[in-house]
Structure 1
Amino acid sequence: MTQSHATDYTSAANYEASVNRDEEARKRILAREATFPLRSATDRLMKILAFGAMVFGLFWLVWILVTLVQNGVGAMSLTLFTAETPPPGAAGGLKNAIVGSVLMATFGTLIGTPIGILAGIYLSEYGKGGWLAPATRFLNDVLLSAPSIVLGLVVYAVVVAPSGHYSGWAGAIALSLIVIPVVTRTTDNLLQLVPNNLREAAIALGCPKSKMILSVICRAAKAGIVTGVLLAVARISGETAPLLFTALSNQFMSWNMNAPMANLPVVIYQYAASPFDDWKQLAWAGAALITFLVLAINISVRLLFRNQTNRK
């Protein structure tokens, strides 16, 4: 075979291979075009389902808020904040219940938040090896999903029964047991989202690990940790079952945390189940007060941290 014939043969082979490649590419394009209508329809269906789920959730939220406004705002007045819970048929307010709820929620948050943050820091930064961290996460998830009435019964058996009386401190301890798992889980998850580059850079500059965690890692996750604390506060603000077994209630004004103490959730529960219309009206007012207070706290903190982020 001469050199010219070999060259012609090679050119023909390359041409045939190019044609085959073009044909395969054309078939792949046609196959994609054939599946495009199905993929487009699936995409539209998923968007419709997602939008419908959002509308479904917002509908119930708006319905709850509108119902609270219709039934509760009308009963709100200055008397609600200055008068104590009344007997049936008498005028009154929720002053003692508001004070009791604020005290127990405050002390419960002050007890549970440091424990939860320190536990989350340990799980994220110190407990990456060994069995203790996974076991702690598992137990924390169990505590997070445990019914609040169980926590109330535990505190009743450990605190109330030995002391022989209900108390605001027992209620605060029960609420702190609800705060701890929420703050622990939030802190652990958010600290793990902080990039390792920040840790490596701080350690490379000679920063001790404890200083690095407090000054760099926790500061980077500060907004998320505060949000987790607020979620815990929002949850304990409406808890009724633990307080039934720990703080119970008190018809009169009391600042003594070592005695039975009135609180909004229990008063709402008692008044809503009563046959008296004036008590039911106070129950609606208390429910609206708790709901809008939690909404105001969340919105205010989100706006505050958004402004701080924009300044940075």
Structure 2
Amino acid sequence: MSDTVMDARPASGTPASPRLASRHLPRWSPLAIAAGAIAVAAGIGAGAGLSSHIQWGLIALVLFVAGSYAITARVEGRRQAKDRVATSLVWSSFVLAVIPLYSLVETTISKGADVIDGTFLTHSMNNVLTIQPGGGVYHAIIGTLEQVGIATVIAAPLGMLTAIYLVEYGKGRLAKWVTFFVDVMTGIPSIVAGLFILSIWFVALGKAPASGFAGSLALALLMMPVVVRSTEEMLKLVPNELREASLALGVPKWRTTVKVVLPTAVGGITTGVMLAIARIAGESAPIALLVFGSAAINTDPFHDPQSSLPYYIYEQYNNGNQPSYDRAWGAALVLIAFVMVLNLIARFIARWKAPKAGR
């Protein structure tokens, strides 16, 4: 009753039935509380001599949550205050997750943008002294595109066919074992995949790999379980009514899968493949073991060492001088841009192939 007031007309007029009017904070109150929390946090940070703005932000988040609860409890009651605190915690968690991402992107852009130009993107490190500015990342871009492309050609069809088997045909012990091994492969460290291919290469061929194709095999091992899992989930989202309608018309099982199930799930499947490509594009451990890296341009992934963007970053950072650090940041920015483009393509395909209402 403390949270409500009785509103009735004066006794002199015609009496009206009393109505219950609850007190509510205005819609702009969260912004006002946030502004106050930021101002108080800035004062505390400046008074305590805190130089990091991140510390100021954390103090502001704590003050915002506490202030939201205190003000809402006084005006709207404890029940609404708890709901407001839960909402504030969700927004605070979102902000805390965005802060390191923003810091990473901002740092990479600020340190790598000055290096990237036409020369950096079209030249290699062949005959370039590491202690001097110059050189480029062209040979690493070629290596990454070829290695990731070969891995995709190997892993994407195998992963999609495995997922189709598990969802459409898989029953019994074999399907359970396949699912178990896919789950195990999902958590395999990249260095283990590289060691496995390295041992197979030595045993089968009796020689060191030193080629982009060997690295692609390791990347395919890392990519395959991601493709299987994403494709499997997309196929499970296809309504069973579509399968039953096709089978009721006498269409064979395989034709139903090819003509009905796969076209319905193609948007999600393509998105999963793109995300799997983005996942393996940043792997450096298998490349260090199997490809070895190279300062020259090598367009043949089946012979001789070949570089890649992750290995180029590692290699330049290990040189230990400022020009190499600058090149490493530039290559990191190129790699982030490459992954971002893949994610944008995945989103575009998912929206393009999404089922439309009325179809």
Bucket of the pairwise TM-score, normalised by the shorter protein: 0.7 to 0.9
How much identity, in percent, do the aligned residues show?
34
- 2:189 corresponds, among 147, 150, 159, to 147
- Residue 275 (str. 1) matches residue 315 (str. 2): no
What amino acid maps onto 1:66 in structure 2?
E
CA contact (8 A) 1:155 1:173 kept: yes
DSSP 3-state at the match of 2:129? coil
Please say if residues 160 and 246 of structure 1, whose CA atoms lie closer than 8 Å, have aligned partners that are also in contact: no
Distance 1:185 1:41, change over 3 A: same
Provide the residue aligned with 1:252 in structure 2. 296
2:203 corresponds to 1:163? no
Instruction: Map 1:1-312 onto structure 2 (within 5 A).
Output: 40-85=80-125, 86-88=128-130, 89-127=132-170, 129-160=171-202, 162-257=206-301, 258-309=303-354
Give the superposition deviation at 1:39: 5.2
How does the TM-score come out when normalised to structure 2?
0.73
Contact conserved, 2:156 with 2:273, CA < 8 A, in 1?
Answer: yes
The one-letter amino acid of 2:158's match is: I
Q: Retained in 2: the 8 A contact 1:160–1:170?
A: no
- Rounded to whole Å, the distance in 1 between the matches of 2:129 and 2:256 is 57
Structure 1 stretch displaced more, 249-258 or 148-157: 249-258
Note the C-alpha offset of 1:164.
Answer: 2.7
One-letter amino acid of the counterpart of residue 207, structure 2: S
Q: Tell which deviates more after alignment, 244-253 or 80-89.
A: 80-89
Unaligned runs of 5+ residues in structure 1 are 1-35
SS in structure 2 at match of 1:245: helix
Aligned-residue offset at 1:37: 5.9
Given residue 346 of structure 2, which amino acid in structure 1 is its aligned partner?
V
TM superposition shift of 1:263: 1.0
> 1:15 maps to which residue?
none
**By percentage of residues, which structure has more helix?**
1
The 2-side partners of 1:308 and 1:153 are apart by 39
Partner SS for 1:287: helix
- TM-score when normalising by structure 1: 0.83
Alpha-carbon distance in 2 for matches of 1:272, 1:164: 26
Residue by residue over 1:203-232, the C-alpha shift from the partner in whole angstroms, topping out at 9 and shown as x without a partner, is 111211111111111111111111111111
Paired residues in the alignment total 276
CA distance in 2, matches of 1:195, 1:136: 24
How many angstroms does 1:87 deviate by? 2.5
Counterparts of 2:88 and 2:173, CA distance in 1: 45
Q: Return the letter of the residue paired with 2:223.
A: V
Find the aligned partners of 2:93 and 2:187 in 1 and give their Cα distance. Answer: 24
For the residues of structure 2 that align with 1:304 and 1:180, how far apart are their CA atoms? 20
Alpha-carbon distance in structure 2 between the residues aligned to 1:96 and 1:145: 31
